[in-house]
Structure 1
Amino acid sequence: MQDVFIRGTSAVLPNAPVSNDDMESVLGQIGDRPARERRIVLSRNGIRQRYYAVDPATRQPTHTNARLTAEAVKGLVGADFSLPDLDVLACGTSSPDQMAPGHGVMVHGELPEAASCEAVSLAGICCSGVAALRYAALTVSAGQASTAVATGSETASTFMRSEQFTAQYEAQLSAMERRPELAFDGVFLRWMLSDGAGALLLGRQPAEHGLSFRLDWIELRSYAHEQAACMYAGARKQAEGGLQGWRELPADAWSASGAMTFQQDVRQLNEHIVALTIERALPEVLARRPLAADAIDWFLPHYSSEYFRPRIQQGLRRIGFEIPEDRWFTNLPEVGNVGSASIYLMLDALQRETSLAPGQRVLCFVPESGRFSAAYMLLTVVEGA
């Protein structure tokens, strides 16, 4: 197996940034009064602005997920790379524009300058972006490709506009009054998620100029055999914890049941996310990939809310892997939680906003609450070729 290097990074954020005060005017108001839960969620998540692929005047989409992702891929074009060089395109997302064809070929379809290539789609939630990166890296490492591009992207706003919630709100209004937690689970993510796309260029050598990342390893862990679904879309959660898929519901119940929006079991998230993705997963990874905390120069944790930051540090402390917070890097306050794209956006920002040096090690952490998974990735900064 050959070494694999991240030779370039690219990030695309649609339209102008949207402040906390402007969110509801862009996404639309549900019901006859502003959302009471918005300030509760925003007071904890630490996000100051985010980006939506939505026209603030018409509240209509401005980008498809495929087009936004293609813009990120085009952002990699330079002296070392042109689109006809592309051998493999691996695309991860939790919000594709359609069920079929796959997201990967739809992105390829937005790149007419490219030649024929292998295009694959990685489904899931936050970890789908890392899974796409792992697929692309393995093809290069195995000698099956010279140049690969991995992407992570989201257009979560398509799930969050008020039009998606009106029927659900009206159908469940009386139930919400009896059990307010139903309302919170249904709209919690509306104030958490945002849009964007990132792309990474992979090859067998570092970039000719500047710094690159050597991809030392990627590890993914799933605990779905122990946990019910926690974050989901296209389904309705049953009382016993199972999911009833949208195809099992009458067509006229899709909107009213909330099956076509993202939902989150907030209590399950709070109870298990750190215990499983830090205290359980990281020791399992370290048993396979020995690593000391003091060898980490930069820690890039993807978390959905600043609420989880101290809890992540507590979890690291409990397993004896505490990383001082002056080595942490996040851009959550500036770009929001962009799901599968978040780690791509962080790596791009890390290169642009910090003074990286050859030999530094970067540990990336991506938890996913879909049914509780975790991804860890170790990179080493290297000089240009």
Structure 2
Amino acid sequence: MSNNVYITKVSAFMPGNPIDNDTMESVLGFVGNKPSRSRHIVLRNNGIKYRHYALDPETGEATYSSAQLAAEAIKGLVDEHFSLDDMQSLAAGAAIPDQIIPGHAVMVHGELKNEPCEIVSTSGSCMVGMTAMKYAYLSILSGTTNNAVAAASETVSSVLHARNFQNESDARVAELELRPEIAFEKDFLRWMLSDGAGAVLLENKPRADGISLRIDWIDMYSFANELDTCMYSGAEKLTDGSLKGWSQMNPADWLAYSVFCIKQDVRHLNERVVKYTLSEPLRRTVEKRNLSADSIDWFLPHISSEYFRMKMSAGLDDINFSIDQGRWFTNLTTKGNTGAVSIYVMLEELVNSGKLKKDQSLLCYIPESARFSGAFMHLTVV
């Protein structure tokens, strides 16, 4: 396989107007008609100032499906060099797709209505954008296609809306009062996650005009063999660390326990996320790729919260791969934590910032806390 693969265009689509910290709870709704007790604490730690929701701020109804968001981002790739009907392969991922079946990518294809093409749906959480990217990359690298589109989208706000928690609030008042950590596992993420979509066009040659990014390699690692689940939806975590999935539960419990809301074991997260999504996997990549920190011009980490910034920096120091903050690029504070979409949103802003120079190298890092995985992508500006 001798083909090179290039990102020739990047697009991001953020629904609606930016929502600030003082407005967000009125959009997401008040659980039990009471303001959240944890919102201010979580926001102070995560550093997010603005985010976007695919919700009508007055009614709370969805303004876009996840497939529609992805389609809007993909439409942003169209120009005089590329039309939707030119697309040979489409790989799309969403942590929470609009339905269980059909797959997410076919729904995106249905929204686009372009000519028949190869489609692949990826599943997971924060890494689904990168698994879609890797499939598209390998499709071209293998010579199977000359171009491919990778996309990720999130409409997590529909899951985070207060209406999804009301039955649990009513049914479990006493238990939630005695064990407030049960509520915090779910309330925590209401102030962390938000919506958006991103897409990239990959081709087997760079554009003659403007900037293209050569994909040098993509490495991914899972540590599920060592660690149990940290973030989950559609299940309850049992005392032995295993999950009981929704299909094994009484349907009445789906609402009583907010089974389809996203839960995060925050203690598990804090103790292990840096080691098992950054330090350990990057150490393997450094050895595999003979990678030097000095060679990195831009570091694009998916930071879920500013709380983890210095912890990540220390994690890099621990493996002698220090990258000073001047080389970091994130837009968490202005675009929010968009999960799997975040790397696309960062790339879109950086590519259009005018800051990139020919021959610079980019290291993209995407952690997934669901069961502790990490992805790294190395790019070169051409």
Q: Distance in 2 between matches of 1:219 and 1:24?
A: 38
Q: Distance in 2 between matches of 1:208 and 1:72?
A: 23
2:147 paired residue number: 147
**CA offset at residue 92 of structure 1?**
1.2
2:30 paired residue number: 29
Contact kept in structure 2, 1:80 and 1:208, CA below 8 Å: no
Q: Distance in 2 between matches of 1:105 and 1:208?
A: 32
Contact kept in structure 2, 1:167 and 1:256, CA below 8 Å: yes
Confirm whether residue 50 of structure 1 aligns to residue 39 of structure 2. no
Query: Which stretch shows the higher mean deviation, 162-171 or 68-77?
Result: 162-171
In structure 2, the CA distance between the partners of 1:255 and 1:357, relative to structure 1 (3 Å rule), is: same
Q: Distance in 2 between matches of 1:23 and 1:173?
A: 24
Q: Distance in 1 between matches of 2:30 and 2:178?
A: 22
3-state secondary structure, aligned to 1:21: coil
> For structure 1, which runs of at least 5 residues remain unmatched after alignment?
none
1:186 paired residue number: 186
2:20 paired residue number: 19
Could you tell me which amino acid in structure 1 is paired with residue 82 of structure 2?
F
**CA offset at residue 32 of structure 1?**
3.3
1:102 paired residue number: 103
Q: Distance in 2 between matches of 1:182 and 1:161?
A: 17
**CA offset at residue 372 of structure 1?**
0.3
Within a 5 Å distance, the mapping from 1:236-251 to structure 2 comes to: 236-251=236-251
Q: Distance in 2 between matches of 1:370 and 1:244?
A: 15
Give CA deviations for 1:124-177 in whole Å, capped at 9, x if unaligned. 001111000000010011110111000011000111011101011222221121
1:81 paired residue number: 82
> For structure 2, which runs of at least 5 residues remain unmatched after alignment?
none
Query: Which stretch shows the higher mean deviation, 175-184 or 289-298?
Result: 175-184
Query: Which stretch shows the higher mean deviation, 68-77 or 166-175?
Result: 166-175
1:304 paired residue number: 304
Q: Distance in 2 between matches of 1:65 and 1:58?
A: 19
Could you tell me which amino acid in structure 2 is paired with residue 80 of structure 1?
H
Contact kept in structure 2, 1:69 and 1:197, CA below 8 Å: yes
**CA offset at residue 354 of structure 1?**
4.0
Contact kept in structure 2, 1:45 and 1:306, CA below 8 Å: yes
3-state secondary structure, aligned to 1:362: strand
1:175 paired residue number: 175
Q: Distance in 1 between matches of 2:191 and 2:173?
A: 20
**CA offset at residue 115 of structure 1?**
0.8
Confirm whether residue 288 of structure 1 aligns to residue 297 of structure 2. no
Contact kept in structure 1, 2:277 and 2:369, CA below 8 Å: no
**CA offset at residue 251 of structure 1?**
1.0
3-state secondary structure, aligned to 2:357: coil
Identical aligned residues as a percent:
49
Contact kept in structure 1, 2:273 and 2:372, CA below 8 Å: yes
Contact kept in structure 1, 2:285 and 2:291, CA below 8 Å: no
3-state secondary structure, aligned to 1:6: strand
2:357 paired residue number: 357
Return the TM-score normalized by structure 1.
Answer: 0.98
Within a 5 Å distance, the mapping from 1:138-287 to structure 2 comes to: 138-287=138-287
Count of residue pairs brought into register by the alignment: 381
